[in-house]
Every structure is written in C-alpha cells, then in structure tokens.
Amino acid sequence: MKKSKKELKKLMESARYKLEVLEPTNLQKGKFRPSFVLMDGYLDLFDTIEALINVCILATQGDPYSPPHVKQPGEDIRKTLELVTQLMPFEEGEFLDEVNQLLSKVP
C-alpha cells in the first residue's frame, strides 16, 4: 500500500509537468484548447487557416498545378507542416510511457 501511494505521488507530480499541451477552457465545461499554438495576431491566424485550406485543396487536385487563388503553395505547405509539428504532444507521450511503467509495477 505504501509503495502504491509513492507511485501515485510520482505519477501526479509527473502529470503536473508533462500534461501541458491542453488547458481547460472557460467557455465550455469539459472542453480544452491547445496552450502552445502561438500566433502573431489575427492576420497570422487567418493566414495559417488559409494555408491549411489551400493545402487541402492542393491535395485533392491530383495535378501539379495550383489553382489561381493559391498564390504561394510552397508557403502554405510549410505553414501547415509547422502547425502539425506544433500539434504533436510529445510531452504527453513521455508522461503516458511513465504511467505505463508505473502501472505495470502496481500489483
């Protein structure tokens, strides 16, 4: 029993430092938002959203030519991949590995 309390304390401490990608939102109970997506402002947010849409358009086209309204396909792809990289929750992965190890020790 004492070992279980020690393991639980270690797990809770680890969670405090590792589970930081999502934070609770005040707008809706039980909902979270990413805490790590940083934007330079509204225009940067809108440019990123447009890049995501444009990359999806390009992916569905099936040909190497971009539609006329997609002015910078390379830039749109770069922005999309940068955002996807930011969305990867590596800290949570480390935490879940620790949880798995701790749980395997509990009888």
- The pLDDT tens digits for 41-58 are 778 878 888 888 888 777
The residue ranges of every structural domain in the chain are: 1-21+89-107, 37-88
Q: Is the pTM of this model over 0.75?
A: no
Q: What is the pLDDT of residues 54-101, one digit of tens each?
A: 887 777 666 666 667 777 777 878 888 888 877 777 777 788 788 877
Cβ atoms of 55 and 80 within 8 Å: the answer is: yes
Output the pLDDT for position 74: 77
User: In the block, which residue shows the tokens 């020790």?
Assistant: 105
Task: Give ∠ CA 10-36-13 in degrees, rounded to 5.
Answer: 10
User: Could you give the residue ranges of the DSSP H alpha helices within the chain?
Assistant: 2-18, 42-61, 73-87, 90-105
Mean pLDDT of the chain: 77
